[in-house]
Amino acid sequence: MIGNHPYIDSEGDLLPGFLAERRGEIEASASHRGVDPDEVQKFIAQVLERGFVILPNLIGPEIIDAIRTETAPLLTHDGRTVFEGYKTRRIYSVIEKTFACNPIVEHPLVLALLDQLLMPQYLLSQLQVIDVHPGEIRQPLHHDDGFYPLMRPRPAVGAALIWALDDFTAENGATLVYPGSHLWGDVEPDKIDIAAMVPAVMPAGSAVFFLGTLWHCAGENRSPEPRLAATTQYCEPWARQQENYSLAISRHRAQQCSDTIQSLLGYSMQFPFIGFVNGRDPKRLLQDK
């Protein structure tokens, strides 16, 4: 076994029978979400073995156009750090400003995959819209749950998607992923071979889904055009979210969201004790007048 991974053998391959044992859970979740269980099982197998999978054509042009139209007036400030990107523009607290990204936050296939990877009542940890402009350099290497002070190798604390709202190409800086790096122990970023990383080339409307332990980064935009993307990141219900949604998203805005998104924002509990407000389920806060 590699580290603390019950589904991977000593060669880094998915253990035979692991997903077969979970077939009932996969079918139940897929039925609840209204998606194909065979598709869920196929994608989960790839994520567990490689750390990522490209999900093609998840959203159509109407959702992409809505996100582009709603967020264009908000993408006005360049990043403040090398991590944000000095030629990259980002929107935080997205749901407070627009509901255009809600369909990607609660996409049924994404939720069916998360159902197999995280505990019930998992949370939305971060939602951003990201516009990477020409001349932007490669982002520093990182893994998304690296800020949790837990030694590797270990299971991921979360999972994330980068959504292509424009076509992702090697030239315009498609997300670079390192296959299998979700299984590594602790490693310094400067020891990682950039040449071994793979660009997540995909058409607009697709997304790359990866575990929080996978090493990755945004690529260099060598094209003459910006590359628009969004990211949805999720975490275990016991982990602190990156965005403090109890402050970033007003109760009025949360009330206008679906039950699923309300739960993902934190209006939910991991029973019996995590997340309560005044001894009660926080969902009641959205029902109080």
Q: How far apart are CA 7 and CA 15, in angstroms?
A: 5
Tokens of 46: 């790839």
Q: Which residues pair with 231 in a beta bridge?
A: 128, 162
Sign of CA dihedral 194, 197, 202, 207: negative
Lowest mean pLDDT among 16-30, 82-96, 199-213, 244-258: 16-30
Rounded to whole angstroms, the Cα distance separating 135 from 152 reads: 34
Question: Within 10 Å of residue 52's Cβ, how many Cβ atoms?
Answer: 26
Q: Two tokens at 47?
A: 């994520």
Burial group, residue 280, by CB count within 10 angstroms (0-12, 13-18, 19+): exposed
Report pLDDT for 184: 95
Q: How far apart are CA 95 and CA 251, in angstroms?
A: 11
> pLDDT at position 2, please?
41
- Overall pTM surpassing 0.85 (yes/no): yes
- In whole angstroms, give the CA distance from residue 80 to residue 234: 24
Amino acid at 15: L
Q: d(Cα 201, Cα 173) in Å, to the nearest integer?
A: 9
For the chain, the C-alpha Rg in angstroms (whole number) is 19
Percent of the chain at pLDDT exceeding 70: 94
Instruction: Report the pLDDT averaged over residues 163-190.
Output: 97
* CA distances (Å), origin 50, targets 86, 243, 266: 31, 28, 30
Q: Give me the helices (H) in the chain, please.
A: 18-21, 23-33, 37-50, 61-71, 94-97, 102-105, 108-117, 245-248, 251-255, 259-265
Q: What angle do CA 269, 272, 276 make, to 5 degrees?
A: 45
Give residue for tokens 């939602």.
127
d(CA 100, CA 98): 5
Q: Is the pLDDT of residue 203 over 80?
A: yes
Compute CA distances 70 → 55, 66, 129, whole Å. 24, 6, 11
- Specify whether the CB–CB gap between 218 and 254 falls below 8 A: no
Q: At the fourth CATH level, which superfamily is domain 41-286? A: q2cbj1_9rhob like domain (2.60.120.620)
Band of residue 22 on the pLDDT scale cut at 50, 70, 90:
confident
- Beta bridge partner(s), residue 228: 131
Q: Is the pLDDT of residue 3 over 50?
A: no
pLDDT at 12: 64
pLDDT band, very low/low/confident/very high, at 1 (cuts 50, 70, 90): very low
Count of CB atoms situated within 10 Å of the CB of 193: 7
Alpha helical stretches, state H, 98-244: 102-105, 108-117
Does the structure show a pLDDT above 50 at 115?
A: yes
Tell me 93's DSSP state: S
